[in-house]
Every structure is written in structure tokens, then in C-alpha cells.
């Protein structure tokens, strides 16, 4: 009986492991193809060479990324010419991808536990034109390796940065509000979408995607959040809270991510049913109602 039980346990373990491997596909073949060609100087001088040797046979994810972020032979050749150091540095950074893959499989397994309704479209890590680190839609998640490798200001360690940012972006794949691009969205809406992704990503990977914001804001919670509340109905694009790159001296970019995280955490901490809370955070559709239900107040201890 013990032998049968042991064999059955091994079979179940193998089946669970196989299911885990199949839950999310992580595609990095475009990176391999690119760097196999990279030392040919024609890539930077002849767009037709880029077209024929790299962009002509993209993975499905790279094909979608090309459309979403206007990656074409001319623009990629120009990036290779004008930002060569970015692609040089990314070559070394790419050596972390096997370990990144292992950790992302574990993170998506954790997402399945946290949010049973989760979808698991593929993650494509490819070479873009050094402008977009990551973007997502309902069909998948698309990462520009060279841009994310260069974003050391977000987090210094390459492997950690990839895992935490990709975790954040993968939450966007799940969010209804993140599927609708609204250039007129308010600071509140944008901050809660991004903050929800930060909060859930922390539970998936062990860290938020933008830890430096939390370090900078420590001890300033009341002041910053009072200012946020006064400006929450402004347009997000052009505000000092979202999508402002690195920000300015004395005010970091994307500080709304940090505020949104704290609102999501307040909601979660006071919810008796934590699984239902995660579902509500991800599936949020009315940011104003969510803010009211969260119990968050500027400067509260969390």
C-alpha cells in the first residue's frame, strides 16, 4: 500500500508541476534571434536588413508589440544607431532571463491562488526600439528587454526588476479598467489602476514594482496624500502624479502608483474576506466608489 501511495503521490506531483509549466508561456526567442544577429553592423545602417533578418519572422507576441508600439525597420535601425549603448547593456542583462522565467512561473502560480479567475496569456520578452519597457492587453504581456534593462532607476537589480515589473504588468492583463485606454482619465482612476497592480504584484512576487517610491514617501504620507486628494479629479496625463517619467527634483515620477497602492492596501486590510478583496481590487470598475469603500484617509498608518 505504501508503494502505491508513494507512486500516486509522485504522479500527482508530476501532474501539478506540468500544469504549472503550462499555465503561462514565457517567450524569449526573439531576444535570442536578435543577439545572434547583433554584431552585424548592417542592422544599424540598413533598415531592410532589420526587416529581413529580425522583424520578418517575429513571434506572435512580437508581432503584436510591433503594432502597439510602432516598431518598424526604420525606427529600430535608428534606435540601434543612436542608442547603441542601450542594446549593448541589454545583452548582459539578458543572461538573467532563465532565472526570471523560473520566478515568474512561481509568481503566476501564486496569482492563480490569489485570484482563481485569473487569465494566463503569454508573456513575450523581445527587443523593441528602446522606448517601451512593457505594455499589456487582453492577449498578452509584451516587454521590451532593452528598455526594461535600462530602467535601473526603478530597481537596481536586473533580475528583481524584471520579476517585479512583469508581475505588475501581468496584473493589468486581469483588470477591466486597464483594457480601456482613456487619455482623459483622472488622476484617481489612473492611480487606482496602477496602485491595484502594485498591491497584487507584491503578493505575487514579494515586492511592488516601484519600491523607490515607497522609500521616498516614507514619513511624508500625510502631506503627499492630502495633496493627492486635492488633485484627484485632474487629468492624469500632464499631472505630477502619473506618467511623468522620472519626475523632477524633489518629486519622483509616477507617485500616484504609491498612493493607489495605499488605497488598495487599506481596502484589503479592512476586508474580512481576503479572497473577495483581491477580486474587488482587480475587478474595480468605479474608482470613486472604491476609494469611498477603502477606508483610506491621508496619512493613515498601514
Domains of the chain, by residue range, sit at 23-174, 184-294
* Residue in 26, 201, 39 with CA at minimum distance from that of residue 96: 26
> CA distances (Å), 16 to each of 99, 104, 167, in order?
21, 16, 22
List the pLDDT tens digit at each of the 302 positions of the chain.
334 333 333 333 333 444 444 589 999 999 999 999 999 999 999 999 999 999 999 999 999 999 999 999 999 999 999 999 999 999 999 999 999 999 999 999 999 999 999 999 999 999 999 999 988 887 899 999 999 999 999 999 999 999 999 999 999 999 999 998 889 999 999 999 999 999 999 999 999 999 999 999 999 999 999 999 999 999 999 999 999 988 988 899 999 999 999 999 999 999 999 999 999 999 999 999 999 999 999 999 99
DSSP 67-102: HHTT--HHHHHHHHHH-HHHHHHHHHHGGGHHHHHH
pLDDT the model gives residue 141: 95
pLDDT number for residue 283: 98
The Cα-based distances of 19 to 22, 25, 105, 112, 224 in angstroms read: 5, 12, 11, 12, 44
DSSP 153: T
Please state the separation of Cα 20 from the chain's center in Å: 20
Residue 267 neighbours by CB under 8 Å, 6+ apart: 277, 280, 281, 290, 293, 294, 295, 296
Per the CB < 8 A criterion, the answer to whether 143 and 123 are in contact is yes
Give the distance, in angstroms, between the CA of residue 252 and the centroid of all CA atoms in the same chain.
Answer: 19
Entry pTM: 0.89
CA distance 128 to 149: 12
So what's the pLDDT on residue 136? 83
* Sheet (strand 123-126) strand order: 26-27, 123-126, 140-144, 134-137
- Grouping H, G, I as helix, E, B as strand and the rest as coil, residue 247 is strand
Q: pLDDT tens-digit profile of 14-43? A: 334 444 445 899 999 999 999 999 999 999
Are 79 and 89 in contact, with CB atoms under 8 Å apart?
no
- Enumerate helices (H) and strands (E) in the chain, giving the number of each: 16, 6
Cα gap 81→255, rounded to integer Å: 33
Q: Three cell numbers at 164?
A: 517585479
User: What is the C-alpha to C-alpha distance for residues 65 and 42, in angstroms, rounded to an integer?
Assistant: 23
Whose cell is 482563481? That residue is 116
Amino acid at each position: 500500500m505504501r508503494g502505491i501511495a508513494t507512486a500516486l503521490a509522485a504522479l500527482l506531483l508530476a501532474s501539478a508541476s506540468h500544469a504549472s509549466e503550462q499555465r503561462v508561456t514565457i517567450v524569449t526567442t526573439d531576444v535570442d534571434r536578435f543577439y545572434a544577429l547583433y554584431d552585424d553592423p548592417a542592422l544599424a545602417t540598413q533598415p531592410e536588413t532589420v526587416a529581413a533578418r529580425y522583424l520578418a519572422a517575429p513571434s506572435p507576441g512580437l508581432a503584436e508589440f510591433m503594432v502597439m508600439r510602432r516598431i518598424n525597420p526604420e525606427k529600430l535601425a535608428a534606435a540601434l544607431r543612436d542608442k547603441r549603448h542601450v542594446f549593448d547593456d541589454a545583452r548582459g542583462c539578458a543572461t538573467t532571463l532563465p532565472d526570471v522565467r523560473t520566478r515568474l512561473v512561481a509568481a503566476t502560480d501564486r496569482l492563480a491562488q490569489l485570484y482563481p479567475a485569473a487569465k494566463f496569456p503569454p508573456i513575450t520578452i523581445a527587443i523593441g526600439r528602446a522606448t517601451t519597457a512593457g505594455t499589456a492587453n487582453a492577449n498578452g504581456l509584451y516587454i521590451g528587454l532593452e528598455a526594461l534593462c535600462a530602467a535601473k532607476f526603478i530597481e537596481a537589480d536586473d533580475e528583481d526588476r524584471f520579476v517585479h515589473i512583469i508581475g505588475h504588468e501581468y496584473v493589468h492583463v486581469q483588470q477591466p479598467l486597464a483594457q480601456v485606454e482613456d487619455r482623459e482619465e483622472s488622476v484617481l482612476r489612473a492611480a487606482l489602476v496602477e496602485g491595484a497592480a502594485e498591491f497584487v504584484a507584491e503578493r505575487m512576487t514579494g515586492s511592488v514594482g516601484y519600491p523607490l517610491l515607497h522609500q521616498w514617501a516614507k514619513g511624508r504620507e500625510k502631506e503627499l496624500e492630502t495633496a493627492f486628494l486635492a488633485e484627484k479629479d485632474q487629468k492624469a496625463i500632464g499631472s505630477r502624479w502619473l506618467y511623468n517619467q522620472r519626475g523632477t527634483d524633489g518629486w519622483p515620477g509616477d507617485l500616484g502608483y504609491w498612493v493607489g497602492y495605499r488605497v488598495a492596501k487599506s481596502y484589503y486590510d479592512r476586508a474580512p474576506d481576503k479572497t473577495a478583496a483581491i477580486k474587488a481590487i482587480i475587478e474595480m470598475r468605479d474608482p470613486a466608489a472604491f476609494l469611498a469603500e477603502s477606508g483610506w484617509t491621508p496619512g493613515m498608518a498601514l
